[in-house]
Amino acid sequence: MNKLFVSLLIVLASVGVLAYSGRCHPSLLAQRQHLTPGTVDALDNSPPLVAFTTVALGGFRGLLADVLWLRAMRMQDEGNYFELVQLSDWITKLEPKFAAVWAYHAWNMAYNVSVLFTEPEDKWRWVMHGIDLLRSDGLRFNPGEAALYWELGWLYQHKIGQDLDQAHAYYKQQLAHSMSLYLPNGNADDLQHLISAAANREDLEALPGMAPWLQTQQEAGSDVWSPAFLEEVSRSPQRREHLVASPQGTRLLHHLRRVGMLTTLKMDPDVMLRLDTDFGPLDWRLPQAHGVYWSQQGLRHAENAFDRLRMERMTFQSMVDAFLRGRAFYDLQGNLTPVPNLDLLPNLLRTFDRVAEAQPDNITVQTARRTFLRKAVLTLHSYNHIAQAGEIYDRMVALYPDEAHPAGLNTYLVTVWLAQGDRLDPDQAMVLVESTLMEAYWSYALGDEERSKGLTLQAELVWQHFMKDLTGEGHAERVGLPPFPQLKQQALQRLISLQTDEMIRNRLQAMTES
């Protein structure tokens, strides 16, 4: 009887303690929310057992997160990435302030899960899942976490911007398309339009003549507030031209693009324009500009020297990539080819100087600047910016005297090309082939057809030289140059787009029709 009595007392005491803890739980949660804003209290789409355990554990939900994390590590070792995605999703909801889980979850989707698919559109979907997880959720719960800004910038700079993924060209094409919804030309003028646009629907409808015009559009069956409206307009040039033919339509498009930038892409046009002035001109349709944006956003929250340096490094690395392939060029079939953005040079030099002066003993910064100056000399000279190439050569020699060649710039260029031999990287090969083809077409336009033929042959030889050793499975598709006929067409179209002389332009245009 005594044992039964004692057991009953223990049960009653346990019930009382549990009831008291239940009464205290709301106030504890309120204090937690006040001290750590953004804490999530619900697990969406989780199994009943996980949801029940979460509520029952309350403040001890970290223990459940640890258990799930251990299982996630096993799933990673076993290559079970799909279950790993779900586990990581639960962990991020259990511990939304655990930045490492957000970073790992995004990286896993963009790198591990994406490669399980064969179709580029499926790969792209998972890469975007990783990006959206960080910018829409991870940074929402951890707005001051510098590491998450770096991770987001890395997905743009490395996963999309580099050529290590078999589907990298598709990624760039899709990113450019999605950005064109908001920034059709990807430049500062587009950003100015967004900055001056109405901030919300009420402000837009308050503009003179807007309310009745919007009502007319709605009555005509055009749902201008539909999330798909911008996509529909972008696919129909006639519809877009009809809209922008009126000031009301133009204001509507600018407003919708502004809202989309802020709510979907989580990017502030005001900040983008400032960065474009400091580091540009950038083409915001390409990944390098996003690397600059997110690294500079992260720099605002960097609290230690390591974070500050890696944010600065991502900035100048993205700018170097943009200098070499940071401007979107579309051929007549609408295919995207990233081409050099030589206008970045002044701001890029200033950025390197600033970081190098702040880190005079950092070997990685000094090596990066030296490597860039070498590539800049070659790239500028290849595109006939002879004077600038000479200036950069002089700057390089002043900073790194061992780079000097006794016979000067021209001999230096020949020596560098010969020394590289089979080690031309894709960017260098593209620069050499395309610039040679542009020079060939320029010679043709001036009437020197023999020189034009000779330069075209040289360009083809360089193309063959670069492509001949790309024999590994998928190697040519990943890092190889486009087919030579496509490069010829691309170089011709680019040269036409740069011409102001009508006679030269017409002569070149005739070549595209022959």
Q: What is the pLDDT of residues 495-508, one digit of tens each?
A: 888 777 777 777 78
pLDDT at 1: 53
Better pLDDT: 43 or 201: 201
Residue 330 sits at φ, ψ, to 5 deg, of -110, 130
pLDDT at 119: 93
Query: 511 is written with which tokens?
Result: 């070549």
**246-255 mean pLDDT:** 92
Better pLDDT: 267 or 456: 267
Q: How confident is the model at residue 51 (pLDDT cuts 50, 70, 90)?
A: low
Q: Please say whether the beta carbons of 338 and 327 come within 8 A.
A: yes
**257-271 mean pLDDT:** 95
Q: What is the pLDDT of residues 180-199, one digit of tens each?
A: 999 999 999 999 999 999 99
pLDDT surpasses 60 at 293: yes
CA distances from 128 to 109, 170, 256, 388 (A): 9, 13, 22, 39
Q: Please say whether the beta carbons of 337 and 369 come within 8 A.
A: no
Closest by Cα among 202, 194, 207 to 264: 194
Q: Which range has the worst mean pLDDT, 7-16, 392-401, 450-459? A: 7-16
pLDDT surpasses 70 at 30: no
pLDDT surpasses 60 at 403: yes
Residue 309: CB atoms within 10 Å: 17
Q: Please say whether the beta carbons of 185 and 329 come within 8 A.
A: no
pTM above 0.85, yes or no: no
pLDDT surpasses 80 at 8: no
Q: How confident is the model at residue 255 (pLDDT cuts 50, 70, 90)?
A: very high
Q: How confident is the model at residue 38 (pLDDT cuts 50, 70, 90)?
A: very low
pLDDT at 39: 46
DSSP letters, 52-79, are: HHHHHHGGGHHHHHHHHHHHHHHHHHHT
pLDDT surpasses 70 at 402: yes
Q: How confident is the model at residue 282 (pLDDT cuts 50, 70, 90)?
A: very high
pLDDT at 37: 47
Q: Please say whether the beta carbons of 355 and 318 come within 8 A.
A: no
Most confident by average pLDDT, 54-68, 234-248, 284-298, 334-348:
284-298
pLDDT at 29: 57
Buried b (16+ CB within 10 A) or exposed e, 456-481: bebbbebbeebeeeeeeeeeeebbbb
Q: How confident is the model at residue 40 (pLDDT cuts 50, 70, 90)?
A: very low
Q: What is the pLDDT of residues 378-389, one digit of tens each?
A: 888 777 788 898
Helix (H), strand (E) counts: the chain: 27, 2
**62-75 mean pLDDT:** 79
- Which residues are within 8 A (CB) of 286 and not within 5 positions of it... i.e. 6 or more apart? 161, 172, 175, 176, 186, 322, 325, 326, 327, 328, 338
Q: How confident is the model at residue 107 (pLDDT cuts 50, 70, 90)?
A: very high
